[in-house]
Amino acid sequence: MSSTFLLGAANGVQWGDTIFYLVLFIVLMALLKHFAWGPVSEMMDKRADKISGDLDSAESARKKAEDLATQRQDALKDSHFEASKIIERAKKNGEQQKATIVSDAQERAQTLKVNAKEDISRERQDALDSVKNDVAELSIEIASKIIRKDLDANDQKALIDSYIEGLGKQNEAK
């Protein structure tokens, strides 16, 4: 190993420096790749991927939310429409029901009235009939007692009829 110290001015070209710097630079580059550049740029790539992935997923989530919102809006609109339809139908039903109930009631009242009138007239008739009979018998008895003359029941009846008719006419005239 021949090594000499040359102090003083540079003597010729120190071409060893080129080799030294080449080796130094390559070693430095290898060390940096292993300890600094490699891990950091890997992490940077990972972060870039993550960010772009996050952006994508955010975009899709936003789209989904928008779809949901429009769906809900549509449903709301539909439900409004349906509700108004239901109310309308209910109103119509109510109206109809009201009409039928009223007409039923009127009919019932009518029939009741008619029945009542019929009943009344029949009762009156019955009452008149019974009164006629009673009056006939009574008058016969009274007459027979008073004039002691047997009157034919039929003649008597005819007599009383004419009398009562006269009464009825007087009543009606009133």
Partner 1 sequence: MNEGAYVQELFGIPFNLSNDIPGLIAAAVVFFLLFWLSRNIQLRPNKRQNFIEWIIDFTNGIIKGIMPDEEGKKFGLLAFTLFVFIFISNQLGLMLQLTANGTSYISSPTSSAMTTLSLAFMVLMLAHFLGVKKFGFKGYFKNTYLSPIPFLFPLSVLEEFTNFLTLALRLYGNIYSGEVLLKLIYKFATSFGIASFIPAVPLELIWQGFSVFIGSIQAYVFVTLTMVYISQKVEKE
Q: Site residues (CB under 8 A) for partner 1?
A: 1-22, 24-25, 27-29, 31-33, 35-37, 39-41, 43-44, 46-47, 50
Q: How far is the CB of 62 from partner 1 (least distance, A)?
A: 24
- In whole angstroms, give the CA distance from residue 153 to residue 131: 16
Q: Which residue has the tokens 């009979």?
A: 133
In order, the DSSP letters of 26-60 are: HHHHHHHIIIIIHHHHHHHHHHHHHHHHHHHHHHH
Q: How far is the CB of 58 from partner 1 (least distance, A)?
A: 17
Q: Which residue has the tokens 């709301």?
A: 76
Q: How far is the CB of 52 from partner 1 (least distance, A)?
A: 14
Q: Which two tokens stand for residue 44?
A: 């940077």
Q: How far is the CB of 49 from partner 1 (least distance, A)?
A: 11
List the one residue out of 21, 24, 44, 22 whose CA is nearest residue 32. 24
Between 24 and 127, whose beta carbon lies closer to partner 1? 24
List the one residue out of 149, 120, 151 whose CA is nearest residue 136. 151
Between 10 and 147, whose beta carbon lies closer to partner 1? 10
Between 44 and 142, whose beta carbon lies closer to partner 1? 44
Between 31 and 101, whose beta carbon lies closer to partner 1? 31
Between 47 and 91, whose beta carbon lies closer to partner 1? 47
Q: How far is the CB of 59 from partner 1 (least distance, A)?
A: 21
Q: Which two tokens stand for residue 60?
A: 């899709």
